[in-house]
Structure 1
């Protein structure tokens, strides 16, 4: 089972900020603050954003792609 399959099965096609925070092991408020900063990982996550009315969601399949992408997990060593 792939990362995408696991996330889709657990959360569905869209992740709320609270669900994304749980996946990243962060608090929802801490994640909100982090996503306002400008750096590579926040830009990549913000590209998956989808706003529906007042609510903000993140596309699960694109988040899974980021987790699978080697350059995201590269520590630079």
Structure 2
């Protein structure tokens, strides 16, 4: 499946792991270092835009930084709930 391969390649680029949460939601878990490195967000934005261009999939980039992965995911989910409707 091309989308899954592309997602895994993106995760690998950030020394992370991709995991599907539902048929329409996937997370990439990585370390804080990879999120904070210079140019990391800009690179991620460009790569995520490729998903829209190549597959017609909308992507949202949200970083949750916490001491534990579950806490970081909770922060991400909270932020997504608070965003304005598109």
TM-score higher than 0.5 here? no
Higher relative contact order (CA 8 A, sep 6+): 1
TM-score by length of 1: 0.31
